[in-house]
A = this chain, B = another copy of it.
Amino acid sequence: MANSYRSGPIYLLLLAFCMLGPGHSLGAQEKSSLAMMPMPAHVVPGEGEFPINGNFGIALEGYKEPRLERARQRFLNTLSRETGIPLWREASFNPPNFIVRTGGPSASVQQLGEDESYHLEITSTGAQLTAANPIGVIRGLQTFLQLVRITPTSFTVPAVIIDDNPRFPWRGLLIDSGHRFIPISAIKRNLDGMEAVKLNVFHWRFADNQGFHIESKQFPLLQEKGSGGFYYSQDEVREVIAYARDRAIRVVPEFDMPCHTTSWFIGYPELASSHDDPSHSSAMDPTRKETYRFLARFIKEMADLFPDSFFHTGGDECDAKEWETNPHIKEFMQLHGISDAAGLQLLFTTRIHVILASHKKIMEGWDEVLQPNTPKDVVIQSWRGLDSLAEAVRKGHQSVLSSGYYIDLNQSAAEHYMVDPLGVGTATLTPAEKARVLGGEATMWTDIVSDENMDNRIWPRTAAIAERLWSPQALQEIDSMYQRLAIVSQKLTYYGLRHRLITDEMLERMSGEPDPVPLKVLAAVVQPPRMYERQDLRSYTDFTPLNHLDDAVPPESDTAREFNAIAKRIVAGKASPQDWRQAQEWLTLWRDNDAKLEPLLARSYLTQELAPLSRNLSQVAEIGLQALNDLRENRVVSRDIRQRNIDFLKGSEKPQAVLLLMIAPSVEMLVQANRTQ
């Protein structure tokens, strides 16, 4: 009987080995380097190392406040998880060898551009962290935690002198609680992750057509009718704001208006442009006084709830037709000489701007808010490209870049990393214009991401974006980025993030197997298609369960990236014997996988659709093995056969079951390199 469930553990580990092997074991060189992310502005390596052991003690000196005490305890908790030494208990009693000195307080509400700098000095006998205020201390403590590593004698941090401060003052992560309700626990653990990589703005979006997920006491039908019963109470919101402040993170709320607002209309249909059919309306009526009376009260309530100086009112993607086909609105436009929907939106923006100004809030909006007469103090969040960012700052607006940081679109860490708010598209800006580029924001839209798989969309890639926004512009080495990203990714698990666990858990669930090895083999080499292609391949509603393989796998296949690097070296004639062997072994694994996976796929309704993809992996690998052998032997290949293989590979590069076979292009590269007559 034992036969029938021959066991998990060893398969699991072998799988991990077979699949993830090379990319994940770092050489001695990288291990001895300083695997920080974001890399600090100035780093001077020293000699020796400071041991972290049971004698570690920490003292807070200078300015004191409870937030610093909590930061110290949080630091000790993480250090304890990093080392397995229960310093969370002991380090307060030991003589201090890590001195943390705080100059003075920070603003009572964290401000844009507030000093985040710190100085960290580590010698073989002790460490000192100094900063002007608690924000700098919070940043420096995270740097210290990133430096911890194990050695033959103990856990240590290397001797080093670091002077650090951020390049941009606005380094954000948007979490979209509008499309889907995201539980507080998921919000909190991602705030922990943000602290780890020194992000400082949590852009929290509460409503969209699909739902209204925050409590309004002024207009309770908003959540009562619009949330399906799942919304954040104002107490919970305050708890998150305090949690974020502890981590030196500002919370900027977004209430997207006047469009993306269907969920508002369930409780308050009078707000809708289409009174006859509010449930199919997504735009507020910008022509009625009542709309502004409602919003004035609503904004006052939320402006009181959220202490931050900035207040985001969305403004994106208004459907011009909804206004322009409405007789009542058309009449209004004629009466006031407004020629188009853009004019209506400007009217709306101007009115909202006045309301926000009365509460001393700085208005922020998406690209579409930018119009010729938009008030100059409105901050533009650019989602359409660097051009629109440049246009905004040229027109005098402060701006935040999100185009290129859409982490829901399954781009690689490298792609995100190479997007610079002051990169190519903004190169011709004047210094004054450049100064108006505040930074950037990764955006975790939840159209087709849930709280379950959210962590693996956000992490580790957002760490690369965080580095782009914090570290010197000159830092551009992709290989170094990926090497440090792997280490940071591991350390983020000490913060409770689930990005490294999710895939396996979901594969187990969808297969009904405690350890579905062949499915893991397939999962390691596929990715969901980039950009908006997923929506074209499967129909998603707000209620579509996100439990397929395309939901489970990370947006970027590490294995495929590794294989691609090897294939490139082989084609370039620069491959080592180990490269050849590795390629051979991986291709053999993949070729033989379908035979084992196929019976497993049939047993579950969630995996049946993967059968063609699995067959393709085997066939692509078969072609790859042949090409590899031909290359090794320098064999001449028939032009016809080569073309047939290339045709097949091209076909295999198209999505199947909403997934791309990421090794197909590398195999094609090998085939292309074969000699023909």
Contact = CB atoms under 8 A, between A and B. Distances in A.
Contacts of A578: 3, 6, 9
A636 to B, nearest CB: 28
Given A21-B517, A510-B84, A543-B90, A12 B585 contact: yes
Contacts of A551: 84
A25 B514 contact: yes
A601 B654 CA distance: 44
Contact of A25 (B5, B9, B545, B586): B5
B27 A4 contact: yes
Given A83-B547, A150-B512, A17 B10 contact: yes
B83 A509 contact: yes
Interface residues of A, number: 111
Contacts of A6: 22-25, 562, 576, 578-579, 582
Nearest to A592: B19
A151 B513 contact: no
A301 to B, nearest CB: 25
A322 B479 CA distance: 66
Interface in A478-526: 479-480, 482-483, 486-487, 489-490, 493, 501, 505-506, 508-518, 520-521, 524
A30 B15 contact: no
A274 to B, nearest CB: 25
Contacts of A506: 84
Nearest to A227: B89
Contacts of A17: 10-11, 14, 515, 517, 520
A603 B92 contact: no
A657 interface: no
A514 B450 CA distance: 26
A5 B30 contact: yes
A89 B25 contact: no
A128 interface: no
Q: Of residues A154, A600, A603, which shows the largest number of chain B Cβ atoms within 10 Å of its Cβ?
A: A603
Contact of A26 (B4, B153, B581): B4
B7 A229 contact: no
A57 to B, nearest CB: 14
A358 B445 CA distance: 61
B605 A150 contact: yes
A145 interface: no
A15 B604 CA distance: 24
Contacts of A582: 6, 11
Given A10-B17, A20-B515, A150-B509, A85 B605 contact: no
A8 interface: yes
A216 interface: no
A181 interface: yes
B603 A150 contact: yes
Given A11-B582, A83-B547, A543-B90, A513 B26 contact: yes
Interface string A164-194: 0000000000000000010000000000000
A12 B26 CA distance: 15
Contact of A22 (B152, B482, B518): B518
Contact of A600 (B22, B490, B585): B22
A605 B23 contact: no
A152 B602 contact: yes
Contacts of A511: 150
Contacts of A512: 31, 149-150
A14 B93 CA distance: 45
A515 B604 CA distance: 30
A360 interface: no
Contact of A84 (B483, B516, B547, B576): B547
Interface in A425-457: 450, 452
A13 B592 CA distance: 15
Contact of A514 (B83, B490, B510): B490
Interface in A1-58: 1-27, 29-31, 54
A558 interface: yes
Contacts of A482: 2, 5
A510 B585 CA distance: 29
Nearest to A486: B514
A509 B84 contact: yes
Nearest to A6: B23
A70 to B, nearest CB: 14
A13 B92 contact: no
Interface in A126-160: 149-154
A589 B84 contact: no
A86 B8 contact: no
Contacts of A3: 23, 565, 569, 576, 578-579
Given A3-B576, A15-B589, A17-B515, 9 more contacts: A10-B17, A13-B520, A14-B589, A17-B520, A85-B547, A86-B545, A151-B605, A152-B604, A487-B514
Interface of A: 1-27, 29-31, 54, 81-86, 89-90, 92-93, 149-154, 181, 228-230, 450, 452, 479-480, 482-483, 486-487, 489-490, 493, 501, 505-506, 508-518, 520-521, 524, 543, 545-547, 551, 557-559, 561-562, 565-566, 569, 576, 578-579, 581-582, 585-586, 588-589, 592, 596, 599-600, 602-606, 608
30 contacts: A1-B479, A1-B483, A4-B483, A5-B22, A5-B25, A5-B26, A5-B482, A8-B486, A9-B524, A10-B524, A10-B559, A10-B586, A11-B24, A15-B18, A16-B517, A19-B589, A20-B515, A25-B515, A31-B512, A54-B545, A84-B506, A84-B546, A84-B606, A86-B543, A86-B545, A89-B228, A93-B228, A149-B512, A486-B514, A490-B508
